[in-house]
Structure 1
Amino acid sequence: MTVDRRRKRKQRTIAVLAAVTGVLAGAGTAVAAPADPLARFSQQELQWKSCDDPGLDPAGAQCADVTVPLNYAEPQGRTITMAISRIPATDPAQRRGIMMSNSGGPGGPGLDFMVEVGSGLTPQGRAAYDLIGMDPRGVGRSTPINCGWPRGFGLHSAGVDAGSFAESVAMQSELAARCATAYGDALQHYNTRNTARDMDVIRGLLGADRISYYGTSYGTYLGAVFMQMFPERSDRFVLDSSVDPHRYGAGMLRDMGPANEAALDLWADWAAGHDGEFRLGATRDQVRATLVKLIERAGRDPIKVGEYLLDDHWLPMVPYVGLDDPRKYELIATQIRQIADAAEGKTVQPGPELTTILALVTEALPRDSSAQMAIMCGDVGVPRDPSWYWGNIEAARASQPVFGAFSNNITPCAFWAPPAEAPTAVGNSSPALIVQSTGDTRTTYGAAQAMRQALSGSRMVTLQDVPIHAIFGRYPNTCVYGAINSYFDTGVLPEADYSCRVD
């Protein structure tokens, strides 16, 4: 090959390399980091204002509205509003960050929840954290879901026989249909994963690298989901009365049956000891028999209590509401005595607590609990065949005569559109403090043990021999409160799990 030919080939090679380099340089410019699809949300400016709330305003809180996408997969689409509150840390010099929260439900409002949580914190804890309340998406002031249900509540007992169960199937189908008609495809975006994403948007807007968190009941599931999705943004998390993350949904409801029957035994013992006052029976078995007969009677002919008619779908809800706290035993006995009197044809004027329950479960309210079903049904799918539920109900009746037909009953989720996303797999080493009572009727002790196992870096503090749901700020206990405050104050978990006793 001549020198000229070699020279020409070298020149062509250099030209090709230069052209390729130019293309790559141009491509590099073209594929530079794309604009943040959430920029319009992460860069919004919050407008703080009075909360106009009797609990928040005296606490020195201010409120703001946060705009978030309805569907994070389509951030340029429809938006919704999240309502948040902020109670500033009491000492800016000691401030270390923000603490968020969730009061449970799902579907429980939380804008003012941090007032209650803050009352249990130490002065050191109050000095360290801005307390951030939040109504989750679809709830309270956060673009609320309200399907216009003919009654306020989405869960009820299947009743005493196949005819009553058929009524349940029809009722739950109607509730789901009302929500589908009112909200259509938007419903599938009201779920826990999106609420966790909302929390991260709020975190960024508040200038925090990480969040600390207190959650109770369903709020423990939301907290655990956030810890899976955003582990690097999770700081000190306390999970009070935990959901089993593997049984969230239909399994969680089924687990309530045995736990409530056990709590009912304790109440029946108490009522038997006060038979002279309430006349429900002199032994546990007699008290239980009185309640079961009332449910059967309500199934044949609804009982008129004041202006309300109470049937076998709703009567079990009366003790269910009260059994989450042993301090309500006298109230439950009073309510059952009133229902028994009404069944005997006496004119009864229910007290305010019973009136609230009866109104919730028997009539349309200005705002129903459809947000609860939207979140649960949007999170996980459930069996859709009514026969699956009926088989479980019948199998549970012998051991769960009061609550088996409730905890195993069909829900609106059986008629809901499938979730938009797969459920979050909870299982990492993110640290958390889990506190739980052994007799919890809503989220069982076994559920907390499952959460403890799933979060391998966590520790668990057990309150022994108390059927209480949600401890902190609700059921004073020096040992449990000390564990929670120590963790929030120092960030150091106990060296090992341990138990507490009633003060």
Structure 2
Amino acid sequence: MRRTLSIAIIVAAVATVMVPGVSQAETPTAIKWSDCPADVAKGVPMPEGMQCGTLKVPLDHRDPDGKQIDIAVSRLASKKPEQRRGVLLTNPGGPSSGLGYPAFLVATGLPKSVLDSYDVIGFDPRGIGRSTPVTCDLTVAQLVDGNIPPYARNAADVAKRAAESKKLAEQCASSKTASMLPFLSTANTARDMDKIRAALGEEKASYAGASWGTHLGALYTTLFPDRSDRIVLDSNLDKGGWDYASDRLWSQGVEDRFPDFAKYVAANHREYGLGWTPAQVRSKYLELGARLDKKPVESPDGTFDGKLFRQITFGFLYGAPQMPVLASVWKSLDANQAPPPLPGGDDAAAGAENLVSGRYYIICNDSSWPKSLATYQRNVAIDRIKYPLFGAAGANVQPCAYWPKAIEKPVQVTDEGPSNVLMVQNLRDPATPLAGALGLRKAFGDRAVMVTADQGGHGVYPMGKNQCANHAVTQFLVKGERPARDYHCTAAAEPR
């Protein structure tokens, strides 16, 4: 496996006629729009008329006249002014670059009715991409783990990972961008979003965010309830965002999602030879992981050990189109052969250092992580047994355990505010499991309604195949018609 490809997988591892004005208390700062750089929307066509610009915001929102940083913003304007409702701020999760996200949404089927109703707005979160990027001076070896801890076979593996994590945290705290470190957080990114809203001359903003973007949207509508219009949260983190509890939930997510893959592989046993039944495919996973722990498969492009095998499996459970690729990887490894190079690794890995660094800056500032090595060793031992597929990775140490104390207490999501939140969630999501979504749903109380879809993978709207769930989101964004209660969309796309 090419080193850059493994990095990419692990790192990667959603109507008024009049345009509202701004209040007297806000003077919008103009964004000068121009054509977007050609590489903003990698892998998808650039929609006609999409523009990009830059907005200055305070590094420290407590000091609005202090040091300013750049936030890169994109806009795909509605071509139907008579149908335009306002702006739809978007975020793809990550935290990662969102400047090209409007192009991705168009390419994956965002309905024309939504495009007519809104100017669709993308942006790079502070510290990431073109928004005053940060660094931790990560080496290629450090990037291979990305933001997913390696599978720990024993307490010694946890101690080794802890030492590596401490060094990484020290690198972030001493890098050339360390002065920005205290001010990168999801809450400050939400405050940047409100600056974007004001700069666009809007009294309110609608929002559609996926994965980590659900935490961003939850904090935005918590901090600015009166400026929130229609809020869509897709593939939801728990109320605490990306914290240690969220990492441990990956293990539940893999258990939820793996049966879908196992059924696919078993149904195609004559092609892959990995098991006639889902139970046999699960046994093959455990067998391959243990075998590669002891005897990795070497290739000119890298080493396929048990850690990489489990991480790649986790990443490729995100979407059904990736299942044939993952099954082929397994087939090669089962034969002690290196899989052929997979397409897209070099392009996907571009900018990985900033991406991984920016994620650490943000998520480690968002919450307090356990400091005790013994806590991680105990939790890894528990989750290795409870969730044998991925538990010993999800419970392992992150650099956040050694992070400087945050300057702001975490913002708590509550039920205070208008009832304008629509949550959509797959039942079998490996990265943001249903268990976490239920926690956020409870925190919102009457503010939210949740629509669940009987499908697997990470991401519901608009790329998902469940038309029942997709319809709910479109109706809410375009017409403001939100379901009166939580409901479930079956695999046949019928609500119940």
Find the partner of 1:418 among 393, 405, 410: 405
Q: How does 1:18-97 map to 2 (within 5 A)?
A: 43-53=28-38, 55=41, 57-97=46-86
Aligned to 1:458: 448
1:369 has 2:362 as partner: no
Q: Residues 100-137 of structure 1, C-alpha deviation per residue, up to 9 Å, x if partnerless?
A: 011011x2211111223346444332222111111111
Q: Is 1:440–2:423 an aligned residue pair?
A: no
Q: Is the 8 A contact 2:425 2:434 kept in 1?
A: yes
* Structure 1 residues 332-371: Cα deviation after superposition (integer angstroms, max 9, x where no partner): 1111122233xx3x45533226x569x96xx995645111
Q: Give the aligned partner of residue 327 of structure 1.
A: 321
Do 1:147 and 1:368's aligned partners in 2 also have CA atoms closer than 8 Å? Answer: no
The C-alpha deviation readout for 1:137-178, integer Å capped at 9, x for no partner, is: 111111112322123213222332233222211222222121
Distance 2:216 2:71 in 1: 16
- 1:293: which partner in 2? 287
Q: Structure 1's 321 and 381: CA in aligned 2 closer, same or farther, altered over 3 A?
A: same
Aligned to 1:116, which of 99, 104, 117? Answer: 104
Contact 1:157–1:312 (CA<8 Å) still a contact in 2? no
TM-score by length of 2: 0.86
Change (3 A) 1:459 1:43: closer
Q: Which residues of 2 match residues 92-171 of structure 1 at below 5 A?
A: 92-105=81-94, 107-118=95-106, 120-150=109-139, 151-152=142-143, 153-171=146-164
Name the SS of the counterpart of 2:309 in structure 1: coil
Cα distance, 1:81 vs. partner?
0.6
- Tell whether the 8 Å contact from 2:380 to 2:396 is kept in structure 1 after alignment: yes
Q: What SS does the aligned partner of 1:398 have?
A: helix
How far did residue 328 of structure 1 move? 2.4
1:446 to partner: Cα distance:
2.2
**How do 1:182-193 residues align onto structure 2 when only pairs under 5 Å count?**
182=175, 183-193=177-187
**1:379 alignment partner in structure 2:** 366
Partner of residue 284, structure 1: 278
Aligned-partner residue type, residue 97 of structure 2: P
Say if 1:417 and 1:226 are closer, same or farther in 2 by CA, change over 3 A: same
Identity of aligned residues (%): 31
Residue of 166, 174, 195 corresponding to 1:173? 166
Q: State whether structure 2 residue 217 is matched by structure 1 residue 223.
A: yes
Residue 43 of structure 1, CA deviation: 4.9
Contact 2:441/2:449 (<8 A) preserved? yes
- Give the deviation of 1:57 after TM superposition: 4.4
What's the TM-score once normalised by structure 1's chain length? 0.85
Distance in 2 (CA, whole Å) between partners of 1:486 and 1:387 is 49
2:490 paired with 1:490? no
SS at structure 2 position matched to 1:159: coil
Is the CA contact (8 Å cut-off) linking 1:335 and 1:350 kept in structure 2? no
- Matched position secondary structure for 2:54: strand
- Structure 2 CA distance, aligned partners of 1:297 and 1:166? 22
Which amino acid counterpart does residue 488 of structure 1 have in structure 2? L
Distance apart, 1:318 and its partner CA: 0.9
- Say whether residues 1:349 and 2:340 are aligned partners: yes
Tell me, yes or no, if structure 1 residue 241 matches structure 2 residue 235. yes
After superposing the two structures, state which structure 1 stretch, 52-61 or 264-273, moved more. Answer: 52-61
1:197 to 188, 191, 203: 191
Distance 1:65 1:214 in 2: 21
8 Å CA contact 1:305–1:339 kept in 2: the answer is: no
Pairs aligned (count): 455
Q: Which runs of 5+ in 2 are unaligned?
A: 1-24
Deviations 1:167-216 (Å, cap 9, x if unpaired)?
A: 21122222212111113342121101111111111111100000001011
1:340–1:367: structure 2 CA closer, same or farther, 3 Å change rule?
A: farther
In the superposition, relative to structure 1, how do residues 57 and 99 fare at CA in structure 2: closer, same or farther (>3 Å)?
same
Higher RCO by CA contacts (8 Å cutoff, separation 6 or greater): 2
CA contact 1:338–1:350 (8 Å) conserved in 2 = no
Matched, 1:408 2:395: yes
Given the superposition, is the C-alpha separation of residues 111 and 289 from structure 1 closer, same or farther in structure 2, using an over 3 Å criterion?
same
Give 1:287 deviation, angstroms: 2.4
| Cα contact 2:222–2:417 (8 A) shared by 1 | no
Partners of 2:59 and 2:351 in 1: how far apart?
A: 27
- Which 4+ stretches in 1 moved above 4 angstroms? 363-368
* Distance in 1, Cα, partners of 2:28 & 2:278: 61
Q: How far is 1:483 from its partner? A: 0.7
Residue pair 1:154, 1:370 contacting (<8 A) in 2 also: no
Q: Distance in 2 between matches of 1:365 and 1:240?
A: 24
Asked if the contact 2:187/2:411 (under 8 Å) is kept, the reply is yes
CA gap of 1:422–1:211, structure 2 versus 1, over 3 A, is: same
Look up the match of 2:263.
Answer: 269
CA contact (8 A) 1:238 1:432 kept: yes
> Which 10-residue stretch deviates more, 454-463 or 55-64?
55-64
- 2:19 corresponding residue in structure 1: none
